[in-house]
Amino acid sequence: MERVCFVLKVKPDRIEEYRRRHQCVWQEMLDALRESGWHNYSLFLRPDGLLVGYLETPDFERARQAMATREINRRWQAEMREFFEGLDGRNPDEGFERLEEIFHLD
């Protein structure tokens, strides 16, 4: 299982709204993530807007591609794009800065 950690930066003036949006993620989006191989997916948000994401998947590139083909993902990404800094026109799921895993206990 591949472990993936990434960061993005939420705009400071959008943090509270970003939190609210994730209290009610669309069921169709949740289903699509699971079906596409995104397991144990979590988001963590620092008060200054640093967003850290973590997931486990058999193949991250295949999981990303599977999500990229879904209309629900296109709609979600279009709505979420406005919340982030530094995407340069990309969707949030294309603008991840993936972190290198350097240690794992197990």
pLDDT score of 89: 86
Q: Of residues 19, 22, 39, 98, which has the active-site annotation?
A: 22
The answer to whether position 106 is within a domain reads no
In this structure, are residues 96 and 53 in contact, taking their beta carbons and an 8 Å threshold?
A: yes
In the residue annotation, 39 being an active-site residue is answered as no
The answer to whether position 46 is within a domain reads yes
The answer to whether position 17 is within a domain reads yes
Name the residue range of residue 66's domain. Answer: 2-96
The answer to whether position 102 is within a domain reads no
The answer to whether position 25 is within a domain reads yes
- The total domain count for the chain is 1
Instruction: Supply the CATH number for residue 69's domain.
Output: 3.30.70.100
Query: Average pLDDT of each block of 10 consecutive residues along the chain (106 residues)?
Result: 97 97 96 98 98 98 96 95 93 94 94
The answer to whether position 105 is within a domain reads no
Tokens in use for 88? 């340069």
Degrees, nearest 5: CA angle 97-87-30: 70
pLDDT score of 64: 95
The answer to whether position 90 is within a domain reads yes
The answer to whether position 103 is within a domain reads no
Cα(5)–Cα(98) distance, integer angstroms: 6
